[in-house]
Amino acid sequence: MIILDIKKQLLAVDKILPQPPQTLGNYRPYIVADNMAFISGQLPIKNGCIIYSGKLGSELCIEEGKQAAELCALNILSQIVELEKEYTFKKLIKIEGCINSTSDFTQHANVLDGASDLLSSVLLKQAGHARSIIGCSSLPLNAAIEIIATVEISSFTLLS
């Protein structure tokens, strides 16, 4: 898949690729090891601001949580596009969701579906992925959700 394909697929589902968010600390947005890229946790950030903050189960409803997860997925896609400047994206392997939630919240899977659904719509055959979800008592900047991604890549060489 090339950069244009991701952008084209996003337009087909009425979404626009955001600029990759800046990191919040002393770490990289992604790191590559062999044929894998590990994308650091992506928050529901747009234009440098947290859009969805608070706890699922008290301050936010499931639909808002799904929208937050979708925004995290858009930020993951923006990191994949950055990766494609040096590597060829092959497949989404796994996403890991951390959901800021109350102790009695149990709909974590429904919330993370917001990310899985968008990634499947955009990446098509390259989107089948494993996932794990945990509920958290807090997240950076009081974000509603944080999603980590692992993708398979390959190096490419320019023909001379």
Specify the fold of 3-155: 60s Ribosomal Protein L30; Chain: A; (3.30.1330)
Domain coordinates of the chain in residue numbers? 3-155
The C-alpha atoms of residue 31 and residue 92 are separated, in whole angstroms, by 15
Q: Does residue 85 surpass a pLDDT of 60?
A: yes
With CA atoms as reference, report the closest residue to 29 among 123, 152, 155, 149.
Answer: 149
Q: Does residue 50 surpass a pLDDT of 50?
A: yes
pLDDT tens digits, one per residue of 102-145:
999 999 999 999 999 999 999 988 888 999 999 999 999 999 99
Q: At what angle do helices 3-12 and 62-83 cross, to 10 degrees?
A: 160
What pLDDT, on a 0 to 100 scale, did the predictor assign at position 26? Answer: 95
Q: What is the pTM of this model?
A: 0.93
Indicate the pLDDT class of residue 160, thresholds 50, 70 and 90: very low
The C-alpha atoms of residue 7 and residue 135 are separated, in whole angstroms, by 31
Contact 40, 149 (CB under 8 A): no
Angstrom CA distances, 4 to 11, 15, 152, stand at: 11, 14, 18
What pLDDT, on a 0 to 100 scale, did the predictor assign at position 7? Answer: 87
